Amino acid sequence: MNWAKEFWNLNNYQMQARKTAIYPASAKITYPALGLAGEAGEVADKVKKIIRDDKDTPEFRHEIAKEIGDVLWYCAVLADDLGYDLQQIAEMNIWKLKERAASGTIQGSGDNR
């Protein structure tokens, strides 16, 4: 299977992810948000093990990449539950970063810099 052809853009990936999203309608937003937090924690835990156990191998990096895929899945379904597509979110994020870069506020803290 040609994966690049199957998921040629973020919105197509999001539609495919939505087909595998099984959770109660009453848990919209909450379920994927909690799942996202959990999967992000798994990524962080694996990165921590690179440092602790000196496990920086191609195989271990592949394990981290698979966890990042789980993060992406939760981002996709959470965005969908919020009424956004991933392409919109990606564009909004880049626009925000370009504005910050232009105003010299790319570094620092706070959402509205």
- Cα angle 77, 80, 81 (rounded to 5 degrees) comes to 90
Q: CATH class for domain 8-103?
A: mainly alpha
Each of the 113 residues of the chain gets a pLDDT tens digit; together they read 565 666 578 999 999 999 999 999 999 999 999 999 999 999 999 999 999 999 899 999 999 999 999 999 999 999 999 999 999 999 999 999 999 999 988 887 777 76
Long-range contacts of 71-75 (CB under 8 A, 24+ apart): 71/36, 71/39, 71/40, 71/43, 72/13, 72/17, 73/17, 73/20, 73/39, 74/32, 74/33, 74/35, 74/36, 74/39, 75/36
